[in-house]
Copies of this chain bind each other. A is one copy, B any other.
Amino acid sequence: MTSNRKQLHLNAFVMPNGHHEAAWRHPSTDPHRAATLKHYVDIARTAERGKLDSLFLADGVALWGNVRYNSHTLFEPLTLLSALAGATERIGLIATASTTYNEPYHLARKFASLDHLSGGRAGWNIVTSAGEDEARNFNRDARPSHALRYERATEFVEVAKKLWDSWADDAAVIDKASGVYADTDLIHPIDHDGPHFQVRGPLNIPRPVQGHPLLVQAGSSETGKEYAARFAEAVFTAQQTFAEGKAFYDDVKGRLANYGRSPEEIKILPGISPILGRTEAEAKEREAELNALITPAYGVRQLSTMLDHDLTPYPLDGPLPDVGTFTEGAQSRFELVTGLARRENLTIRQLIERLAGGRGHRVFAGTAAQVADQLEHWFTEGAADGFNIMPPTLPGGLEDFVDLVVPELRRRGLFRTEYTATTLRGHYGLARPVNRTTVTTVKEHAA
Contacts and interface: CB of A to CB of B under 8 A. Distances in A.
Interface in A299-333: none
Interface in A46-85: 60-64, 66-71, 73-76, 78-80, 82-85
B117 A181 contact: no
A71 B181 contact: yes
A105 B137 contact: yes
A198 interface: yes
Contact of A103 (B24, B138, B183): B138
Interface residues of A, number: 75
A101 interface: yes
Nearest to A191: B136
B68 A184 contact: yes
A129 to B, nearest CB: 12
Given A106-B102, A205-B74, A80 B113 contact: yes
A260 interface: no
A79 B113 contact: yes
A32 B175 CA distance: 10
A85 B37 contact: yes
Given A78-B110, A113-B79, A198-B139, A67 B179 contact: no
A35 B206 contact: yes
A25 B176 CA distance: 5
Q: Chain A at the B interface: mostly helix, strand, loop or mixed?
A: loop
A85 to B, nearest CB: 5
B79 A136 contact: no
A204 B64 contact: yes
A206 B76 CA distance: 12
Contact of A200 (B64, B78, B136): B136
Contact of A101 (B68, B103, B174, B204): B103
Contacts of A272: none
A197 B139 CA distance: 6
Q: What 6 pairs between A and B have smallest CB-CB spacing? A: A136-B200, A82-B82, A76-B113, A79-B82, A105-B137, A79-B113
8 contacts: A25-B179, A66-B184, A71-B172, A76-B109, A79-B113, A79-B114, A80-B117, A136-B200
Given A68-B183, A76-B112, 7 more contacts: A36-B116, A62-B204, A68-B180, A69-B181, A71-B182, A73-B204, A101-B103
